[in-house]
Structure 1
Amino acid sequence: MNVFRPARCLLSGSSISKFRPRVRCRNFHISPNLYERQGDPNFSIVKASKEGVGENELDTDLGSENFKKYTPEELEALQRKYTPGQLKAIEAGEAAIDLEDLEKHGVIRTDLGRLSYFDDLSQLRPVVDRPQHYEGPHDPSWRVLTHEERTELWNKAYREAVLEDPLPEPKTPEEAEAQEARKHGGDPIAEMKADARTPYYMGSNGPIPREHSHDLRAPGLPRNFMSDDKPKVPVKKAVHEEEADPRDPEGVYDRLIKQTGLTLDQIMDYKVKILVQHRVVNQTRLGKIASIYMLAVAGNGNGRLGIGEAKGQETEETSNNAKIAAIRAMQPIPRYEERTIFGEVEGKVSAAEVKLMCRPPGFGLRCQHLIFEMARAAGIHDLAARVPRSRNKMNTVKAAYQALLKQRIPEEIARGRGKKLVDVRKVYYAGRV
């Protein structure tokens, strides 16, 4: 709302009353300004009480709903898992965290430049995490086999592998001697079977079987790599008519599915639309050859966008080729708060210039229909655009796509200035981390 405030100025020695509009100016972010926070009790400074509270502790219940204390059952489970010294370290680390900062300023980012806030402890990362020892119930007294124990178990597994594949009765003394020497080593197939069966760890009840342990090496041959008893399954030729999906009966996306690994459901969920379509003519020595030009845009509605071009004689075939080309060319588009762009960006292709500007929540997409469709396909909800010069449709789409890819995210600005990420976001985004 505009508030009019009278202002007086002197012109030619006479006093003339003048009105000028006083416009409320603020940055485009959702954090409240300082004057809006002065009367808010949630933003008041919480001081430490004198009785029973240290200098660095806060006598407040901030975060009591989202960050609750441990229950007796949880404390008992932690005591079984950690030593008393580790528990004290955990409590000291949690006490050092400012709950007010977590409640009021901590924001979990989901945009392209997000940080790795949480780790999925149910999955192992081979570079950082230690390998899993074995699958099954935890054995507190497990240990790695010694060289003597592993040698003894390997010899036992080798002899069992030799007995599984006996040779025919020897007819000469040389064959009998070779079979006797085979029991002590020299059979490559039996050696591979012994390597695949020898355990790694020793438990309370003896060696832990390989089926319950984690192999640190690359997977070898299967256990039954020499068995010829498997019945051969006849390979049936797939009939295209039986496997055809009713949504794609002609198999337009079959090649795209094989090359990209996408499913037909994912392809159908993409927002794909033809933005530019016109007739073109190519002059050759045989005369004028007319064809159709199409430009399509494709996006998943969650930060990915691509454009594709195609020419052809048939309208339907050209349309499919342009859509497939747009799906192949999809690239990630940076989004601030998953709704708008970072700052203001410009793009220029030939004589067409496009300027894109970020806008606050609820502003909407106030731009021409070509940029509107591109923003909606990329998942951008608040955007303003200007096209001051040429309005050529093809160049406008390409310039807008170029501008979206030219955004500078806060991480890049921080690295360029040699500062921390929080400094950049404090300046441009009011401290929201």
Structure 2
Amino acid sequence: MSVSRPARCLFSHPPIPTVRPRVRCRNFHTSPNLCERRRPRFPNIKAADMGLVDKPMPPPQELFRAYSEEEKALLAKKYTPEQIRAIEAGEAAIRPEDLDRQGVVRTDAGTLPYLDDFRHYRNVVDKRPQDETPEDPNTRFMTEEELGRSFSDYFHKLDKENPPPVRKPPQAGDQQFNPTRLNLLRADYEAPSYMGTNGPLPAGQSLLAPALPKDFSLDDTPAVKKEAAQEEDDENARDQLGVYKQLRKQTGLTMDDIMKLRVKTLVINYVTNQTRLGKIQSVLVLAIAGNGNGRLGVGQAKGQEMENTLNLARIAAIRNMQPVPRYEDRTVYGEVEGKVSAVKVQLMARPPGFGLRCQHIIFEMARAAGIHDLAARVPRSRNKMNTVKAAYQALMKQRIPDEVARGLGKKLVDVRKVYYGGRV
């Protein structure tokens, strides 16, 4: 049996569509959509128009003056024509941009405290120059008479050059010999003690290895003694309890230097030890110290009195200060890690103006060391004492450009641009 299809009504409504029209949805945030944002009130200004971009430097021929005829004549006395042409070619190949980026005076902790042009010989810093005079085969030690005569002659020579500030007039029965301690020390050290073929040899020539250089200064004069005593009295007046007295003697720091350091107590732990006499309480303190310019130290002390323990921890931190490598005197070299027990600290270099974005313990350590741009993570345990030790370990194990160059077997100039952007 077949079922007939019903007839369609002429007045029936069209079917309702199943697809809804698209409605613009908006995310739930405060920022307006791109089409609703206002246009900037002021047009964009290029950095070159504001003077923020350095102008191209002139060529070396315009930046450096040429040699005069007098200077060329002086160079010709010391160098051959081929060497002079090599010098001129080397100076012409120098790029002024490299001098502008790399020819800066370093201010980190590893630099010398003076600018040396290497024209003068320094006994302590420089290597002792070799004596080019030929060895005398007849060199021998002086006898006692020759030693006495040599010492007497050299002392009278020094006495004439540097007479004592106050010489008493000779009295009846007094000797004319009125020595000074400075001249006696110099004569004992500098008087000739070896005899050669043509007479006494200078103090620098001997059969033995050269001794360590000595510094003879006028520290034994009454005026200098009085000034030193006055300075020590002032230092003791500022440190009445004598907390830093031994530290000043050991390190040579003054109270001004100690007060300028950034000393911070980071960890204080109270410990109770059960003994047969009962519970004995003690305190464990961890402190840091830095000069804000590339030096940082960590000190730890334990005791029963809080004030004494704090002072001991701070003194230990000042005594343990060591130089911290800093890239451009503001951040660390690349990414470094430190691990102590279950604590792991990751330090990452950041561009200028980034700031110190890390927890407060690492923040205080970076500020004391003079680091201004740094990011740090402590992904695992966050024990305070181990965090300080791990961060200090990470700062000390940085790979500086010298180590990278030695490890790769290259020169320092080859790794500057690759690893540190050329500003090292």
TM > 0.5: yes
Q: Give the Cα separation in 1 of the matches to 2:231 and 2:255.
A: 16
Give the aligned partner of residue 312 of structure 2: 321
AA aligned to 1:353 is K
The 1:123/1:195 distance shift into structure 2, 3 A limit, reads closer
Contact 2:235 2:255 in 1 (8 A): no
Q: Deviations over 1:286-338 (max 9, x none)?
A: 22111222111011222221111112222221111001111122222111111
Q: Give the Cα separation in 2 of the matches to 1:147 and 1:386.
A: 70
Contact 1:62 1:103 in 2 (8 A): no
Q: TM-score when scaled to structure 1?
A: 0.58
The 1:241/1:42 distance shift into structure 2, 3 A limit, reads closer
Extract unaligned runs of 5+ from structure 2: 1-52, 154-187, 215-224
Cα offset, 1:341, TM superposition: 0.3
Q: Give the Cα separation in 2 of the matches to 1:332 and 1:159.
A: 48
Q: Which of 118, 142, 149 does residue 161 from structure 1 map onto?
A: 149
1:16-415 maps to which residues of 2 (within 5 A)?
42=56, 61-62=59-60, 64-65=62-63, 67-70=64-67, 75=71, 79=74, 83=77, 85=79, 89-90=83-84, 92-97=86-91, 98-100=93-95, 102-103=98-99, 105-108=101-104, 110=106, 111=108, 119-124=117-122, 130=129, 158=146, 161=149, 196=192, 215-216=204-205, 218=210, 242=233, 245-415=236-406
AA aligned to 1:350 is S
The 1:118/1:108 distance shift into structure 2, 3 A limit, reads farther
The 1:132/1:378 distance shift into structure 2, 3 A limit, reads farther
AA aligned to 2:129 is R
Q: Give the Cα separation in 2 of the matches to 1:247 and 1:397.
A: 31
Q: Deviations over 1:66-117 (max 9, x none)?
A: x4445678x39x73x97164587356414313232543553447357889x9
**Partner secondary structure for residue 256 of structure 2:** helix
Contact 2:338 2:391 in 1 (8 A): yes
AA aligned to 1:103 is L
The 1:301/1:243 distance shift into structure 2, 3 A limit, reads closer
Taking only the aligned residue pairs, the percentage that are identical comes to: 52
Contact 1:270 1:298 in 2 (8 A): yes
The 1:214/1:161 distance shift into structure 2, 3 A limit, reads closer
The 1:216/1:88 distance shift into structure 2, 3 A limit, reads farther
The 1:268/1:281 distance shift into structure 2, 3 A limit, reads same
Give the aligned partner of residue 16 of structure 1: none
Could you say which structure has the larger radius of gyration? 2
**Partner secondary structure for residue 371 of structure 2:** coil
Q: TM-score when scaled to structure 2?
A: 0.59
The 1:146/1:412 distance shift into structure 2, 3 A limit, reads closer
The 1:243/1:84 distance shift into structure 2, 3 A limit, reads closer
**Partner secondary structure for residue 356 of structure 1:** strand
1:412-431 maps to which residues of 2 (within 5 A)?
412-431=403-422
Cα offset, 1:356, TM superposition: 0.8
Q: Give the Cα separation in 2 of the matches to 1:398 and 1:299.
A: 15
**Partner secondary structure for residue 301 of structure 1:** coil
Cα offset, 1:280, TM superposition: 2.1
The 1:85/1:415 distance shift into structure 2, 3 A limit, reads closer
Cα offset, 1:269, TM superposition: 2.5
Contact 1:281 1:291 in 2 (8 A): yes
Contact 1:63 1:100 in 2 (8 A): no
